[in-house]
Amino acid sequence: MDRTRLLQVFSEDSIGQDLTVCGWVRSRRESKGVAFIALSDGSTQETLQLVVPAESPAFTELPRCNTGASIRARGVVRESPAKGQKIELEVSEIHIFGDADPEKYPLQKKGHTLEFLREIGHLRPRSNTFGAVFRVRNVLAKAVHDFFQGRGFMWVHTPVITSSDCEGAGDMFTVTSLDLEDVPKKEGQVDFSQDFFGKRAYLTVSGQLEAEFMAMSVGDVYTFGPTFRAENSNTSRHLSEFWMIEPEMAFADLQDDMKLAEDFIQFLCTQVIEKCEKEIAFFEKFFKTISLSQLQDLATKEFYHISYTDALTQLEKARKKFEFPLQWGLDLQSEHERYLTEIVFKGPVVVTDYPKDIKAFYMRLNDDEKTVAAMDVLLPGIGEIIGGSQREERLDMLTKRMKASEIPLEHMEWYLDLRRFGSAPHAGFGLGFERLVQYITGMHNIRDVIPCPRAPQLIKF
């Protein structure tokens, strides 16, 4: 089909060209002698103004050019004589692909609340806001690969279906092909030996353990794929299905890990600043929850580092009264994290060296034997965006931690093998992709940064 994308119309010197554009009508304004259509095709934040003079043969098609209708328009690009846009298309021909009955089409040219748009998930990408969110998401996804590929990391495809139930990252969804109307039982329990895989299978909650064996063979790797949590979490920061990025580096310690995390976030931020100028300006103008200068700060300023123990000291000095107690050995609560990022440091904070009992078994025990080489990256307004650690590479230490955490060793022999044969220091982290998109777009609700959000009681499509 002969078609020029709006992104191209705007980015090139197209004045004087005779071309054809396709898209969806955002709004139509008519007067006696001339009509205007704002057209969007999703390729850019901008809408193209179509000008239809009364004498144009296209004028008769105007009554059908309602908000939401899909059309093709041919015309000549002109410099716009009016304020509001630099160029416009003087239309000679309009073809309507698909009507949109204005009495039934749910989107109107005026704005809608995000809550309402959430109910029409299949149409919301046509709105300014969601078009912008998904364009930024796409730029970020590409930047993830560019960052790691540029540093020689191998993208590894860890499984979506796993038999490993001890990743310690929350409740898991069971994957089964058993007849749920007639489940086979043995000694009162579901007999998974009769299931598809001969044992119980789950949707993955993390690709980390598999990424570790790849890292212990090829050096530096990363995963980027969907992960699943069956937690009954009803918040603006949790999804049941979300995309996670998990780099894993051989011959690396916690310092390397933190450096990678910081470089990574700053690279992604820089890419968005470069490639999503219009989108950022849009978020800044309409939502006021994020600004270009904030993103520039994130992209350039060094992150603050503080140990868990020092963070506790800082929090104890705070005048603010916290709901939850501050006591060495207890995990930091949301209110504590917020205080650190929003009041004390006013920016991203990396908290390191947490007490071993509140962290996962695979994290490397520090020499004090009380803390582990773990780090969390906290962002203002979002909280934890990255959780990472240097992994325990010493067989005896790891076995001890696993026993203490009641991890069944017999299922994890393969994991221990990595420490038996050619073990090496290694480190990695996990980053929740949607939380990053959330921060960078300023969207308050994580359900608004993924096309088809999954959460308890929520599975449209």
For RNA, the binding residues in 69-88 under the rule CB under 7 A are: 80-85, 88
The smaller minimum CB distance to RNA, of residues 342 and 417, is found at 342
The smaller minimum CB distance to RNA, of residues 151 and 444, is found at 444
Give the integer Cα–Cα distance in Å for 423 and 215: 11
Does 31 sit near RNA (CB under 7 A)?
yes
Which residues in 427-456 contact RNA (CB under 7 A)?
Answer: 430-432, 434-435, 444-447, 456
Q: How far is the CB of 206 from RNA (least distance, A)?
A: 7
Coil, strand or helix at 428: strand
Q: How far is the CB of 184 from RNA (least distance, A)?
A: 28
Does 144 sit near RNA (CB under 7 A)?
no
The smaller minimum CB distance to RNA, of residues 120 and 154, is found at 120
Which residues in 117-136 contact RNA (CB under 7 A)?
Answer: 118
Among positions 112, 145, 275, 305, the unique one binding RNA when judged by CB under 7 A: 112
Q: How far is the CB of 341 from RNA (least distance, A)?
A: 12
Sign of CA dihedral 352, 356, 360, 366: positive
DSSP 276-345: -HHHHHHHHHHT-S--HHHHHHHHHSPPEEEEHHHHHHHHHH-SSPPSS---TTSPPPHHHHHIIIIIIS
Q: Which residues have C-beta within 8 Å of that of residue 116, sequence separation ≥ 6?
A: none
Q: How far is the CB of 92 from RNA (least distance, A)?
A: 13
Which residues in 196-215 contact RNA (CB under 7 A)?
Answer: 206
Does 287 sit near RNA (CB under 7 A)?
no
Does 64 sit near RNA (CB under 7 A)?
no
The smaller minimum CB distance to RNA, of residues 135 and 238, is found at 238
Chain-centroid distance of CA 398 in Å reads 32
Coil, strand or helix at 36: strand
Q: Which residues have C-beta within 8 Å of that of residue 129, sequence separation ≥ 6?
A: 114, 117, 282, 286, 287, 448
The smaller minimum CB distance to RNA, of residues 296 and 334, is found at 334
Does 235 sit near RNA (CB under 7 A)?
yes
Give the integer Cα–Cα distance in Å for 23 and 41: 4
Q: How far is the CB of 31 from RNA (least distance, A)?
A: 4
Does 180 sit near RNA (CB under 7 A)?
no
Judged by CB under 7 A, which stretch of 10-18, 33-41, 177-185, 248-256 contacts RNA? 33-41
Does 36 sit near RNA (CB under 7 A)?
yes
Q: Length of the chain, please?
A: 461
Does 457 sit near RNA (CB under 7 A)?
yes
Among positions 23, 348, 387, 442, the unique one binding RNA when judged by CB under 7 A: 387
Q: Which amino acid is at 281?
A: A
Over the window 303 to 342, marking each residue x when it contacts RNA by CB under 7 A and - when it does not, the resulting string is ---------------------x------x-xxx--x----
Judged by CB under 7 A, which stretch of 184-192, 213-221, 237-245, 409-417 contacts RNA? 237-245
Q: Which residues have C-beta within 8 Å of that of residue 65, sequence separation ≥ 6?
A: 25, 28, 37, 71, 94, 96
Q: How far is the CB of 148 from RNA (least distance, A)?
A: 17
Tell me the CA distances in angstroms from 293 to 131, 262, 280, 296, 428, one per residue in order: 22, 18, 10, 5, 30
Dihedral angle computed from the Cα positions of residues 421, 422, 425 and 429, in that order, rounded to the nearest 10 degrees:
-60
